[in-house]
Amino acid sequence: MTIQPGQSVPAVPVKLVTPDGVSDVSSQDVLGKGRVLMFTVPGAFTPTCHLNHLPGYLEAADQFRQAGVDRIVCATANDHHVVKAWAEATGAGDRIDFIADGMAKLAVEMGLDRDLSAGGLGTRFGRNALLIEDGVVRIVNAESSPGEVTSSGAPAMLDALKAL
């Protein structure tokens, strides 16, 4: 079952990728303090994630900060080496932190997983965006169609923040 507003984020071991490097942390360490905007993508460097989803958050990072977001986090079920390379290749590291959930444990625990085995990708995050305040989910926007970035995109989340 997909995590719902009012529920707390789970404590799952993940790799945090920042400009300072890669560290082993709990998902609560990353998502449990302050106002966090987390968006989840099926895969680093995959076409929609790389060309449509991440760029919107990069462009809107200052607007999110002005709207009271303390941290922007992108979570993906890739290994931390790939996630680090993606952060560096996109220049996102100074504006967005990344969670590398290589075994998709956080994705499954939050009910945000999608089985993409038919395409050779295994279990991955679906495309989502969440607003989390002090570890409690306030907003969950999930895409209903693969390859779309509408409700989980930066513009939709900026509108959701303004409506609070």
Residues marked as catalytic: 49
Distance CA 121, CA 160 (A): 31
Helices (H), 9-114: 27-31, 47-48, 54-59, 61-66, 80-90, 105-109
Longest dimension (CA), the chain: 41
Q: How far apart are CA 86 and CA 146, in angstroms?
A: 21
